[in-house]
A and B are shown apart, each in its own frame.
Chain A
Amino acid sequence: MTDVLGPHAIFIISAYIGVALVTSAIIVAIASDARRQKARLNALETMGIRRRSDANRDKSA
């Protein structure tokens, strides 16, 4: 690697790997949080618990 990236290659590679890991971590965290909230909302809807605005929409339909 040192002939491609110079004598300090280890610093360059560590920096990029660290950033890749943290970036992936926040993407995964945000995506899984989104999925979890949607699942909880769907579960509540299946149980028949709805927001008042959704309930009114059903009534007027």
Chain B
Amino acid sequence: MNVQTAKTMNWFDKLAHPGQFLIWSRYLVLPLAMLTTILFAVGLWYAFFNSPADYQMGDTVRIMYIHVPNAWLSQFVYALMALSAIGTLVWRHPMADVSMKAAAPLGAAFTAMALFTGALWGRPTWGTFWEWDGRMTSTLILLLMYLGLVALWRSFDDQLRAAKLIAVLTLVGAINIPVIKFSVDWWNTLHQPASVLRAGGPSMPAEILTPLLVMTLAFTVLFLTLHTVAMRTEILRRRVRSLERQRAKGA
């Protein structure tokens, strides 16, 4: 094989090959980081200076602008991990397990923040920080799943073997996501029912929906930035480990 006969890479190869991913993802990081900063600036301005207090719960509605994005992302990140898990198991996509591993700690952070902000919103609104109802219990379970997956990655020396097991466990745990989403419909709960992603469209006025959507976008782009960097780091980490193994053999 020489330069003329070697296969040229199509777009899918460029996505799948870790070395190629490192090359093109480099140009994503700074733009994503800048976009994140701008979105947070705009979102926070809306949240504190350009949105009204709610007629029922007053200014505590402003907690929604950080609670809901984190809650949505905690589920979205798990869904992404589940998709990556399918990529690992079905197609043995080389970047799929990198994506799964990089996403797990981020998902855990978003879930923790959702529970934290939810508790602080619940106290003035419902009179309690916590209730063992469907939504809160299933979200706590989600957090424990995330932490379990992070711990499992660290407990394996061979990351490629870890990937298969963790992919299966991730898919098993994916049942929790629809449970979280529909828990407010299925069971008695303090938590309010869906008011944005529902049949019939959002039931929120635009003045409150706008900061919510901007902050959601901000947190989402933040996740995309951090996920990209974490995937790049994971590829480098694996290179370092194989080189150190090489060095140990040579010594």
Contact = CB atoms under 8 A, between A and B. Distances in A.
Interface of A: 5-9, 11-12, 14-16, 18-19, 22-23, 25-27, 29-31, 33-34, 37-38, 40-41, 44, 47, 49-51, 53
Contact of A15 (B63, B112, B226, B237): B63
Interface string B207-218: 000000000000
Q: Size class of B's contact patch?
A: 35 or more
24 contacts: A5-B59, A8-B58, A8-B60, A8-B124, A9-B59, A11-B123, A12-B59, A15-B67, A15-B117, A15-B121, A16-B66, A19-B113, A19-B117, A22-B113, A23-B222, A26-B105, A26-B109, A31-B229, A33-B233, A34-B229, A41-B239, A44-B243, A47-B247, A53-B19
B101 interface: no
Contacts of A38: 236
A51 B112 CA distance: 39
Consensus secondary structure, chain A interface = helix
Given A37-B240, A40-B240, A51-B239, A11 B60 contact: yes
Contact of A34 (B60, B109, B121, B233): B233
